[in-house]
Amino acid sequence: QSVLTQPPSVSGAPGQRVTISCTGSSSNIGADYDVHWYQQLPGIAPKLLIYGNNNRPSGVPDRFSGSKSGTSASLAITGLQAEDEADYYCQSYDKSLSGSYVFGTGTKVTVL
């Protein structure tokens, strides 16, 4: 059972801006652990999209940005493109239960 909650789906027209929220608690995001984001295209392994709350690995377009505040984080996609249609997951660390990595519930982004 995921401890990080995301909206099941978001959608937008090409060129628009969409945001995905990731809500945690005082034992994970609120405990100052970083949040990371992954993009999973259909039938493909997840790919690191944002690390350390707001850093992009080499090759990730600057249309993708991340932020974190309190017990939540957000991923923003500006200038939405057709190839951005995918599932997106946040991830952090949780200090309860002897410590563990945790993933969000996942959000399907649909480009209208």
Please report, as ranges, the residues that interact with other proteins according to CB under 8 A: 2, 34, 36, 38, 40, 45-48, 51-52, 57, 87, 89, 91, 93, 97-98, 100-106
Whether 47 and 39 have beta carbons less than 8 Å apart is answered as yes
Nearest residue (CB) to other proteins, 19 versus 40: 40
CB of 14 to other proteins, least distance (A): 26
DSSP 68-99: EETTEEEEEE-S--GGG-EEEEEEEEE-STT-
Residue 45: what residue type?
A: A
Nearest residue (CB) to other proteins, 33 versus 77: 33
